[in-house]
């Protein structure tokens, strides 16, 4: 086994896992004992493997995904049951009434029930978390039109109107997420006034969602400014869309873009 062959086999080595299922890896590990340079390469490779593995495992599902999966299953089950009760008119009416109650319950829990997760505060928290968390832009571009086209193709809000001051900030790309079944577009800008941490690609984010009837949403002409985590946020509604602008720094940093 040559050094290059040994390295190729060792690419499949997973630190902490028995490699008995792969005889070539075992052979390559044995070669490390005889070759100092190969052993040094292997040690660094192991460190990188651990680091990459941890990077993979740091991916976190968005809040509410589990609940969404379960609630949709429950709704489907209720629908199936309702379908089986059609023999009797009385039972049918009961089924409809129950279904209505369930739908009402789900809707009130989502939009009006008062839990923070379904209110504007919950939405802000989620979006700030999305911006601060490790995300990847779906599209990196400096052209806002490219972003609109990309979002429109994926049926995410794309006809947003950005404040003129925000339009002066270089756009760097876009992403998307969901909140309570609604599609949310994320447009990323780069103020570039402060050095960014490793892995951070933008420092001003605009989230746009077709305006839901959520608790605590801004009134007409109102801009709600709140600090969430380490970002300052401004939220407003315009033409049936909910806009959320977020940026790090001081409140004054945010107000410059409003």
Partner 1 sequence: MDTTSDFEALVARYYALLYQFAFGLTRVEADACDLTQQTFLIWASKGHQLRDPSKVKTWLFTTLHRQFLESQRRSKRFVHEEIGTIEHALPTVSSGVVERVDGSKVLEALGRVDPIYRAAVSLFYLEDWSYQEISEILDVPLGTVKSRISRGVHQLQKMLTEGSTGGRREIGEM
Residues in contact with partner 1 by CB under 8 A are 4, 7-9, 11-12, 14, 17, 21-22, 41, 44-45, 47-48, 51-53, 55-62, 65-66, 68-70, 72-74, 76-77, 130, 134-136, 138, 154, 156, 172, 175-178, 183, 190, 192, 196-201
Least distance CB 18 / partner 1 (angstroms) = 10
Of 17 and 87, which CB lies nearer to partner 1 in the complex structure?
Answer: 17
Report the residue number, 130 or 236, with the smaller CB distance to partner 1: 130
Which position has the token pair 């008062």? Answer: 114
User: Given the complex with partner 1, which of 175 and 248 has the nearer CB atom?
Assistant: 175
CA angle (54 as vertex; 48, 56 as ends), nearest 5:
105
Q: Taking CA 66 as the corner, what is the angle to CA 64 and CA 67, rounded to the nearest 5 degrees?
A: 65
Min CB(193)–partner 1 separation in Å: 13
Pick 48 or 258: Cβ nearer partner 1: 48
**Least CB distance from residue 52 to partner 1, whole Å?**
5
The total number of residues shown for the chain amounts to 258
Q: Give the shortest CB-64-to-partner 1 separation in angstroms.
A: 9
To partner 1, the closest distance from the beta carbon of 211 in angstroms equals: 19
Decide whether 90 or 197 has the Cβ nearer to partner 1: 197
Cβ-proximal residues to 226 (8 Å cutoff; 6+ apart), any chain: 121, 124, 232, 233, 235
Which stretches of the chain are DSSP H helices?
3-10, 23-34, 36-57, 65-84, 89-107, 120-132, 144-153, 164-167, 251-255
Reference 5, options 21, 20, 27; nearest CA is 27
């Amino acid at each position: 086994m040559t050094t290059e062959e040994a390295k190729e086999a060792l690419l499949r080595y997973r630190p902490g896992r028995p490699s008995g299922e792969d005889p070539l890896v075992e052979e390559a590990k044995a070669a490390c004992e005889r070759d100092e340079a190969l052993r040094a390469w292997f040690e660094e490779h192991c460190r990188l493997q651990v680091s990459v593995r941890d990077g993979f495992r740091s991916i976190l599902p968005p809040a509410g995904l589990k609940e969404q999966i379960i609630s949709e299953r429950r709704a489907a089950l209720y629908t199936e049951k309702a379908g089986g009760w059609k023999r009797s008119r009385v039972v049918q009416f009961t089924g409809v009434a129950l279904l209505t109650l369930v739908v009402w319950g789900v809707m009130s829990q989502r939009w009006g029930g008062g839990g923070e997760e379904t209110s504007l505060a919950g939405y802000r928290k989620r979006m700030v978390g999305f911006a601060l968390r490790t995300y990847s832009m779906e599209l990196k571009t400096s052209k806002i039109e490219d972003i609109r086209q990309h979002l429109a193709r994926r049926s995410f809000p794309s006809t947003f109107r950005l404040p003129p001051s925000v339009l002066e900030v270089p756009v760097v790309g876009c992403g998307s997420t969901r909140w309570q079944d609604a599609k949310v577009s994320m447009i990323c800008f780069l103020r570039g006034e402060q050095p960014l941490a490793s892995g951070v690609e933008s420092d001003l984010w605009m989230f746009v969602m077709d305006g839901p009837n959520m608790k605590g949403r801004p009134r007409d002409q109102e801009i709600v400014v709140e600090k969430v985590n380490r970002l300052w946020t401004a939220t407003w509604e315009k033409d049936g869309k909910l806009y959320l602008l977020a940026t790090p720094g001081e409140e004054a940093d945010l107000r410059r873009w409003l």
